[in-house]
Amino acid sequence: MGTTRRLAIVLCFGLFVSSMGALWVQQAGGASAEPDDPTLSAAEPLTTTTTAAVTTTAPPVSAAPAPAPAPAPAPAGPVRVPKDPYAPEPLVQIGTIEIPKIGLTHAIFEGISLRTIDHGPSHWPGTALPGQVGNAVFAGHRVTHSKPFRNIDQLAVGDEVIFTVNGTRSTYVTTGSEVVTPKALHIVNQTPTPTATIFACHPPGSAKFRYVVHLSLRS
């Protein structure tokens, strides 16, 4: 095994929660199965306050309009990660990702453990799901396993990334890309509009940097 690289904020799984629910990604020493694996480290727990719904019963009112549905809750923010990058985690496929520019069609999963990411691009729990308001964050491999994100550095502004989750197809377009260090703070911040972020270690075969592609929902 090579040296474990603990991702800061969504990459290499080094994760601390900021006051805005952002994570920071860091590299740390340890054992790792792959040179480009995002690896996880322990993070401070997120504090989430849940208000129970209260149901009241009132006499029926003639011709009363139906109440408007409550808006979907905002994402709670990225969940904390386990100390063990291979911590047990159920393997749950949530849909597919398509990137026509690089000829990719691949299953996507829900989770932050390498047990999950080894199977394909994985959605960071607590971030928005594709199609929702917020930032849907996905990590994937570049040179190991099925290496789904091997060529994400070929994406240019306007190129499509299509997610299908729960039967709903959401088409995003590339708005930009950047190479960041493992301590980058901003890539998993939640946003007021529907956006998405896909990332992987960079350059291929190394965990020195992270290649990040930013996306915006088109339809």
pLDDT the model gives residue 202: 95
Nearest to 30 by CA among 207, 210, 215: 207
Interval 176-199 mean pLDDT: 92
Give the mean pLDDT of 67-96.
78
Question: Does 70 fall in a domain?
Answer: no
Tell me if 155 is assigned to some domain. Answer: yes
CATH of the domain at 132: 2.40.260.10
25 forms beta bridges with 8
Q: Answer whether residue 72 is part of any domain.
A: no
In a domain, 22, yes or no: no
pLDDT of 188 strictly over 50? yes
- The whole-angstrom separation of Cα 44 and Cα 35 is 26
Residue 19 confidence (pLDDT) above 60: no
**81: exposed, middle or buried (Cβ count in 10 Å: 0-12, 13-18, 19+):** buried
Instruction: Report which of residues 116 and 74 the model is more confident about.
Output: 116
Please state which of the ranges 76-80, 127-131, 151-155, 176-180 shows the lowest mean pLDDT.
Answer: 76-80
Contact (CB, 8 A) for 144 and 37: yes
The pLDDT value recorded for residue 207 is 87
- In the prediction, which pLDDT does 64 show? 53
**Backbone dihedral region of 3: left (phi > 0), alpha (psi from -120 to 50 degrees) or beta?**
beta
Q: Is residue 132 situated within a structural domain?
A: yes
Strand pairing partners for 174? Answer: 215
Q: Give the mean pLDDT of the chain.
A: 76
Look up residue 9 and give its two tokens. 């904020």
CA angle 41, 45, 47 (to 5 degrees): 155
What is the predicted pLDDT for the residue at 93? 98
In a domain, 40, yes or no: no
- Give the model's pLDDT for residue 83: 83
The residue type of 131 is G
In the prediction, which pLDDT does 75 show? 67
Rounded Cα–Cα distance for residues 2 and 176 (Å): 31
Do the domain assignments include residue 153? Answer: yes
Cα 134 vs. chain centroid, distance in angstroms? 11
Alpha helices per DSSP H over 46-162: 114-117
Q: How many domains does the chain have?
A: 1
Q: Are 40 and 16 in contact (CB under 8 A)?
A: no
Q: What is the mean pLDDT of residues 101-125?
A: 96
Tokens read off for 65: 């309009």
Which two structure tokens, joined as six digits, stand for 8? Answer: 């800061």
Give the predicted TM-score (pTM) of the model. Answer: 0.71
CA distance linking residue 146 with residue 169, whole number of Å: 23
Q: Which of 52-66, 137-151, 198-212 has the lowest mean pLDDT?
A: 52-66
**Amino acid 70: pLDDT:** 53
pLDDT tens string 35-74: 665 533 333 333 333 333 434 444 454 455 555 555 556 6
In the block, which residue shows the tokens 């393997």? 91
Is 36 part of a structural domain of the chain? Answer: no
- What's the domain range around 188? 86-217
Least confident range from 146-150, 152-156, 184-188: namely 184-188
